[in-house]
Structure 1
Amino acid sequence: MNSLKVISVLVVFSFMSCKEQPPQSELKQEKPKHYGPFFGVVPLDKPQLLAPELLASPATEYNGTFSPDGTQFYYTTDMPYTAYITFTEMQADSSWSDPRIAPFSGEYSDFDPLFSPDGNRVYFSSSRPKADNENSKIWYVERKDFGWSNPIRVVLTGEEDNEYYSSLTHSGNLYFNIWSKGDIYRAVPSDSAYTVEVLPESINAGGNKGDPFVDPDERYMIFRGYDDTLGRGDLYISFNMEGEWTTPENLGEPINSSSHEMCPWVSQDGKLFIFASDRLETPAEAKALDPIKKINGTHNSGKLNLYYMSTDFIEEMKEKHQAD
C-alpha cells in the first residue's frame, strides 16, 4: 500500500511539473551575440574578429565603417570580377539585421564605403558605369527621409586616374589615393569644385601608399603601405604636428602581421579601430550536419576579414613623437 502511495505521488508530481512547464515559445530567448550600438563590442588592446558570426563569409570582407551613432555598419564584400557594398543595421530590439547589399550598390563594382563625420553621407569608390574593378572614381550618397539618394560623383581628377578610399574631414577636405600613381592626395573644396594636391614626400615616399583614413580634425592619418613591412602590406600612422606630417611609423604588432593589413578606420568617438587582415588561416572546426553559416562565421580560408581593437595605441604613439 505504501508503495502505491509513493507511485501516486510521483505521478501527480510529474504531471504538475509538465503542466507548469511553459511552452517553448515562451521560454526566455537568449540575446543575440551582437547586440546594441557598435555590435556591443568592447575594444581590447589586441585585434579581435569583428562580429564573425554576422560578417565573415567565404567571400572577402574589408572597408568597415560605422555610422557615428553605431547603428549602421557598411563594408565591402569582394567577389571575383566585382565587389558590392554590404550593410547591416541595428533593429528595434537592438539586434542586428542579416547583411544585405546596400540599396545603392549591386549593379556595378562598388567598394570602400566611409561615412562622413556627420553620418549624412556615405562616400565610396565605384567603377560605374562599368561593372568591373577598373578606373574607379569617388562617389557619395546622401541621407534622405526615404533612405539614400542616387549616387553622385565627386569630380576630382582626370578620367584616366583610378581613385580609391575617400576620407572626409570636418573642414570638408577629402583624402584619397590614386592606385596607378601610388600616392595619397588631399582635395580642398573651393566653391563648387575641389583643388587637388598630392601629399608631401614624407607621406608618399617609397612604394604604393593608399587607404588613407584621416582623423576628422586632421590630427593624424593611418594608411596602407609596402615599405619595410612585417608581411605583404602594413598599416602606418603619421601625425599632423604644427601643419607638417611626421614621418610615417609602422603600427607594428599586434596590428600588423606577416599577412596583409589594409583599410583602417576609427569611430567618431575615437575609441574603436577597425581594419582588414588576411591573417586568419586556421582550419575550420566542423562536423557532419553543422549549419554552413557556422562555418562561414568562424573560418575564411585566409581571405580578408574585419578586425577591431582599442585606439589607445594612437595616443601612445603621439606622446612618443611629442617627447622626441
Structure 2
Amino acid sequence: MYRSVIILMFCLLIGFASNAQKKYSIKSKKAIKNYEMASEAYRQMDNSEALKYLDGAIEQSPDFIEAWLFKADVLHEMGKTELEIEAYLGAINIDGDFFSNVHFNLGNAYLKMGEYQKALTKYQDFLALPNNSGRNQILAQKRLETCRFAIKSIANPVDFKPVNLGGNVNSEFDEYWPSLTADEKLLVFTRLLSGEKEGAEVKIKRQEDFYASQRNDSLWMPAEPLSLVINTEKNEGAQSITADGKYMYFTACDRAGGYGRCDIYYSVKEGNVWSEPINVGKPINSKDWEAQPSICADGRELYFVSNRKSGKGKMDIWHSRLIETLKDGKQRWTQPANLSINTTDNEMSPFIHAGNQYLVFSSDGLTGMGGYDLFKTERDSDGKWSDPENLGYPINTFNDEIGLVINAKGNKAYFSSNRLKGKGKDIFSFVMPGNLQPQSVSWLKGNVLDAKSKNPVAASLLLIDLMSNDTITQIKSDQTDGSYLLCLPSDREYIFSAEADDYLFYSKHFEMLNDQEKLNPQQLNIHLDRIEKGKEIVLRNVFFDIDSWDILSKSEIELTRLYNLLLTYPKLKIEIAGHTDDTGTENYNLKLSNNRAKAVCDYLIIKGIDETRLSFKGYGALYPIADNETEEGRSLNRRTEFKVVENQ
C-alpha cells in the first residue's frame, strides 16, 4: 500500500513540475539519470539500490528536491526514521512550499521518534498551508491532539519502575505475552525460537511455543516447554489461562480444520497433563481472523480480537459467554458482542482482570502517545464499560505498547518490552500505580477430598454473590488430585459451595467487607461426606433476624440447595437441628433454636417436600462447636444443621 502511495506521489511531483513546463526542478542530466535509475530499482523492490542512486543524484545536484523527497520515503519504508527526518529537512531547506505533505510526513517521523514538540510544530505548519483538505488534514488534527496529550503526560509521569524477571524466564530469544494464575505460582508465556541447530548446521527457524515457569517463594524457576501436546512445529501464541491454571486459550494459524487463517483453541489441564487442543468453533471462530483471547477467572467469559466486517474498526475486541461444555469437551458460546470501547481503528490485546470488571487493552484509535497505547476501562453494575483511560507515561511511549496483564491483587503488572534493558524482548513486572489499580481480588485454594478415604473428588464449586444472587464463579475441582482455585473479589458477601454426586454438599460463608485479614489468600481443604445415616452438615448460609426465627431472604440459595438434594434423593430423610450460643437463658435458647429448625422444615414442606421425610429439634446451647468466650466463636455456635436419618 505504502509503495503505491509513493509511486502516485512521483506522478504528482512530475505533474507539478510539468505545469512549470519542465519535468524536474533541476537540469543536471546525470542527476536525473540517477533519479530514474532509483525509480526503476524501487519498482524492482530493491530499496538499497534505490538509495545508492538517489545519493548519487543528490551529490550531483544538491538542490534536487524530488530526490530528497524520494529518499525520505524509501527510508520511511525501510524503518530508518532518523535518516528519513534528515532527508525531509533537506527537502524543506530547498523549498518548504514545493510539496505541502512534506510537513505532514516530517511530523509523522518526529512523532514516531517521540519528538512531540517538533512533531506538533510540523503538523501546525502543514495545517497552516492553503488548500489543505482531505484525509491528511483530519489525521494532522488528530495527531496534534496526540502531541499535546504526550507533552502533558511527560510533564506528569506515573510511577513506573520495571523489573526484569531474570534469566530463568527470559533468554536470548524473545519472550512475550505473559499470563499467570491468581496465586502467581505459574507463569505461562510465548517464546519465539530462532536459529536452532540441526546436526552440524544451523537451520534458520522462527517458531512460537509456550513455556512455563513455576514460582518458589519470590524466585521464578527455570522455564520449560509447556506441553508437547500443545507445542507443535507450527506457531502457537497469545495465550490466556484461567485463574486456577486449568484452562488455556490461545491462537493458532493455518491449522487443518480451522475456520479462518487464525483461530482460537483451548486445552484443559488434569493433574499435570494438558489435553489435545480443541478449536473453540463457531460462533467465536469464523472465516475472518480471530486471535489474542483473554479468558476470565472462571472460564465463563471470553474476550478476543477479530477483524470481522460487522465490527466498528479494523481490529475490534469482542466478548462471548460460555453456554455449556458438552460431554466430548467441546464448548458452546454465545454470539460474540462488539465492545463499546472499540474505535474505527485498531483495538488489540484485551486482558480481563480476575475481578471480571476491569479490562486493559491496546488501541491506536484513542488519544495517546502515538502508535498503540495501553488503556483501562471498568464495567459498572449495569454491564456498561466506562470511557477508556490512558495508563499514562512512561507505561506508554511513542513505541507500540501491546499486551499487559495484572495480578489478582491488582498491585503488580506484567508485560514484555524490547525498549528496556534486556536480551531483545523480555518480560518485566512493575508495581501498578495506585490510581490505576483494579479492585483487589483474593483467592481461595485447596483440595476436595472424600472425608473417609481422602481420595480426590471431582466436585462442582460455586461462588454466589449473596446480595445479587449472581453466580460469580463456577468451576470443577481436578479429578486427579481434587485441587481447585477460585477468586474472591473484595467488597462482597458470598456463598461458597461444593457438590458431587452421592455426597452431601458443603457450604461456607465469606464476607469480604473492609477486613484486611479476610482479603488475604486462604487455603481450604474440603472433605465431603457420602450420603450415609448419621452424617451431619452445617447450613452456614441460613440466616435469621436477631432473636427471631424469621428466615432472611439471603438464605434462599442455601435452602434451595437443600431442597434440590432432597429431590435428587427421594429416599433421603433428615432432621433439621437448631443451635444457639450460651447468651440468654436455657429455656429461651431451646425455644429459639426449636422455632428456627421448625421454620426451615416449614420452608421445605411449602416447597413440596413430604413432611414425613423431615423432622426438627432445637438443642439450644447444649452442643457448641467453638468457644463462647469470643464473638467469632458465638457466631459459629449460632447455626442450623441437618442430619441424615435414613437413606434407603
Structure 1 length-normalised TM: 0.68
Q: Larger relative contact order (C-alpha < 8 A, sep ≥ 6)?
A: 1
1:63–1:263 Cα contact (<8 Å) kept = yes
Q: SS of the residue aligned with 1:203? A: coil
Aligned to 1:84: 209
Q: Within the alignment, does 1:233 sit opposite 2:354 as a pair?
A: no
Q: Within the alignment, does 1:71 sit opposite 2:185 as a pair?
A: yes
1:122–1:140 Cα contact (<8 Å) kept = yes
Give the Cα–Cα distance (whole angstroms) in 2 for the partners of residues 96 and 158 of structure 1.
35
The aligned runs of 1:209-228 (5 Å cut-off) are 209-227=347-365, 228=367
Amino acid at match of 1:189: L
Q: Within the alignment, does 1:173 sit opposite 2:306 as a pair?
A: no
Change in Cα spacing, 1:279 to 1:125, as seen in structure 2 (3 Å) is: same
Amino acid at match of 1:67: T
Give the CA deviation at 1:86: 1.6
Amino acid at match of 1:310: V
Q: Within the alignment, does 1:205 sit opposite 2:343 as a pair?
A: yes
Amino acid at match of 2:423: H
- Identify the range of structure 1 (76-85 vs 211-220) with the bigger mean alpha-carbon deviation: 76-85
Q: Deviations over 1:23-75 (max 9, x none)?
A: xxxxxxxxxxxxxxxxxxxxx94141331323333432211112222222111
Aligned to 2:225: 101
Give the Cα–Cα distance (whole angstroms) in 1 for the partners of residues 345 and 364 of structure 2.
6
Q: Within the alignment, does 1:59 sit opposite 2:173 as a pair?
A: yes
> Would you say how many aligned residue pairs link Structure 1 and Structure 2?
250
Give the Cα–Cα distance (whole angstroms) in 2 for the partners of residues 110 and 171 of structure 1.
20
Q: SS of the residue aligned with 1:75? A: strand
1:49–1:305 Cα contact (<8 Å) kept = no
Amino acid at match of 2:185: T
Over aligned residues, Cα RMSD in angstroms? 2.8
The aligned runs of 1:187-198 (5 Å cut-off) are 187-191=320-324, 192-198=331-337
Give the Cα–Cα distance (whole angstroms) in 2 for the partners of residues 76 and 315 of structure 1.
25
Give the CA deviation at 1:204: 0.8
Specify which structure has the higher proportion of strand: 1
Larger Rg: 2
2:163–2:430 Cα contact (<8 Å) kept = no
Change in Cα spacing, 1:128 to 1:70, as seen in structure 2 (3 Å) is: farther
Give the CA deviation at 1:158: 4.5
The aligned runs of 1:28-39 (5 Å cut-off) are none
Specify which structure has the higher proportion of helix: 2
Give the Cα–Cα distance (whole angstroms) in 1 for the partners of residues 351 and 285 of structure 2.
23
2:361–2:374 Cα contact (<8 Å) kept = yes
Q: Within the alignment, does 1:186 sit opposite 2:307 as a pair?
A: no
Change in Cα spacing, 1:58 to 1:206, as seen in structure 2 (3 Å) is: farther
Amino acid at match of 1:255: I
Q: Mind listing any 5+ residue stretches in structure 1 that lack a counterpart?
A: 1-43, 283-297, 318-324
Aligned to 2:431: 310
Amino acid at match of 1:71: K
Q: Deviations over 1:246-267 (max 9, x none)?
A: 1212111121112221111112
Amino acid at match of 2:246: N
What is the aligned-residue identity percentage?
23
Q: SS of the residue aligned with 1:259? A: coil
Give the Cα–Cα distance (whole angstroms) in 1 for the partners of residues 243 and 335 of structure 2.
20
2:264–2:285 Cα contact (<8 Å) kept = no
263, 288, 293: which is aligned to 1:161? 288
Give the Cα–Cα distance (whole angstroms) in 2 for the partners of residues 95 and 49 of structure 1.
13
Q: Mind listing any 5+ residue stretches in structure 2 that lack a counterpart?
A: 1-157, 194-204, 309-313, 325-330, 440-648
Aligned to 2:243: 117
Give the Cα–Cα distance (whole angstroms) in 1 for the partners of residues 232 and 213 of structure 2.
15
Give the CA deviation at 1:222: 0.5
Structure 2 length-normalised TM: 0.36
Give the CA deviation at 1:175: 0.7
